[in-house]
A and B are shown apart, each in its own frame.
Chain A
Amino acid sequence: MRIDKDLVAASATPLVLGILADGDLYGYAILKRVSELSGGGMQWTDGMLYPLLHRLERLGYVSSLWGTSDAGRRRKHYTITPAGLDALADRQEQWTVVADALRQVWHTAQGPSAAREGWA
């Protein structure tokens, strides 16, 4: 199943912040983690992650540090900041409200097929 583009964009920030809340990571590892968490359902355009990370850095949600990879290449590691943790908590609340609302809608509609019959 492919996730809709807008949904991917909307969830990108909380997802990245949430992943970084578990510990420092570099770009590629963040994407791998996203893929694992969504069972491969969320496929990002890899290159788009970096402008997003830079925006989060500008907003002060993450900080970065250049290090070296095992192969000796320059690698940029990202760490979540206290401001980032606050932002994450805020997003979490918002998503909980959205998810709750959706769950209730699914229950009352009793699945998409039932709804379709009702409109037909």
Chain B
Amino acid sequence: MTAPHAELEAQIDRWRGYVQRNRAISPADVDELEDHLREQIADRQATGLDDEEAFLVAIKRLGNLDAVSREFAREHSERLWKQLVLVPEGSDNTDASRWRELAVVLTLAVGAGVAVKAGSAWIDDGAALMRNLGLLVFPFLAAYFAWKRRFTAAVAATLTVPFAALAVALNLYPFAPGGATGMLAALHAPVILWLLTGVAYVGGRWRSDKRRMDFVRFTGELAIYYTLLALGGAVLIALTLATLRGIGADFQPVLEEWILPFAVPGALVVAAWLVEAKQQVVENIAPVLTRVFTPLTIAMLLVLLAVLAAAGGVAGIDRNLLILMDAILVLVLCLLLYSISARDPLAPPGLFDALQLVLVIAALAVDAVMLAAMLTRIAEFGSSPNKIAALGLNLLLLVHLLRAAWLAVEFLRGRLPFAAVERWQTRYLPAYGAWAAVVVVIFPPIFGFV
């Protein structure tokens, strides 16, 4: 542009700066809008308007920036999922409300600690306590979201009814001491509770795929924050422990009796709040983390496969190894989900998507080996609650991974949009909840509570 249009250029620059401050509109979108603005200005100038008039008309036709950015936000919720879900329109973000939130969070965190402490004092049986731990913490996490999202009665009921049913099953079933079904119920109850947390997180709008993806993001960020808190806490505790031991005081009982029962559940509530309030800090790490850990996980799976092959077939795999490998597969799936949630859905297929496909295929191979091992074991030793539960989980994983692999191939070939890949993931999530419910509620009576 030549000097006579300097003022116009300055105006466009100011406009750009103003639009860029909006987190729902990415720099590429601003480029697109600027191109539009300049075309409009050029057309107005052609009809005889001067620079300033043309600029004003073009800006006016572009529309109210708030309304436009809200439209962008609705379409690209991944860019600012926090604001979208969190702050209801027109809410005030004053200091007072922030302090009130902190007070609510700390109260709930302490409440969760008190619940766990009271539970461990009243429930003598260690297995029963384990079954109940999730039940003790969940209400406080749910209460935070109930307060934050201003639940309607219907949403509260959607949460309370399954929660109550779960509590009844876990506590009234006559589980045999040391029995497998009681252990399985204790292991699967958190899955149900976590999906209920998801319903709470999305404020009851669990049918929406986008909100479900938001919850996946939330889960990933929560894991990161919780790990950070745990690491920090561990360092503090280790230092205190070492110092007090030097003085000659025994800190161990205090740690086990008081600090851990409060810190571990409390940190969960605090981490949830941190994700809500400060997630911007971690948001930029998510894609980096998934890019680092996807290749590493592929390497791990390949090593596993090689070791299994070298060990000579699937028959020799023992139970503990099978459980460990199940845990690994679940972790791989979490990583997959998290990296899908962190990806820009509009970006064209790239190297990283191919890498993700490799990850899915490696996981499929491991899953197939495990299924073969399990079927051999069942054929050899007969079925047991543990084996059926593991078999069910592996079949669920198999279906999940097979379809994910197929969709990834279609996406890489440019035949499907990334949204199809996302949709499969979010739609499949409730299947895990349903299976966990079967294991908790139906398994014990079928197998005679042993």
Task: Report A's interface with B, CB cutoff 8 A.
Answer: 26-28, 31, 45-48, 50-51, 54-55, 57-60, 64, 66, 69, 71, 73-76, 83
Contact = CB atoms under 8 A, between A and B. Distances in A.
A48 B65 CA distance: 10
Interface string B334-355: 0000000000011000000000
A26 B40 contact: no
B75 interface: yes
A58 B346 contact: yes
A51 B36 contact: no
A26 B68 CA distance: 18
A12 to B, nearest CB: 12
B80 to A, nearest CB: 14
Interface stretch (B2-10, B152-160, B414-422): B414-422
B61 A51 contact: no
Given A28-B36, A54-B346, A58-B75, A46 B62 contact: yes
B35 interface: yes
Given A54-B72, A66-B28, 16 more contacts: A45-B64, A46-B62, A46-B63, A47-B65, A47-B68, A48-B63, A48-B68, A50-B29, A51-B68, A51-B71, A54-B346, A58-B345, A69-B35, A71-B38, A74-B31, A75-B35
Interface size class of B (residues with CB under 8 A): 20 to 34
B36 A27 contact: yes
Nearest to A69: B35
A71 B34 CA distance: 13
Contacts of A48: 63, 67-68, 71
B39 interface: yes
B32 A50 contact: yes
B76 interface: yes
Nearest to A31: B36
Nearest to A61: B417
A45 B346 contact: no
A4 to B, nearest CB: 17
Contacts of B420: 60
Contacts of B64: 45
A46 B36 contact: yes
Contact of B417 (A27, A59, A69, A76): A59
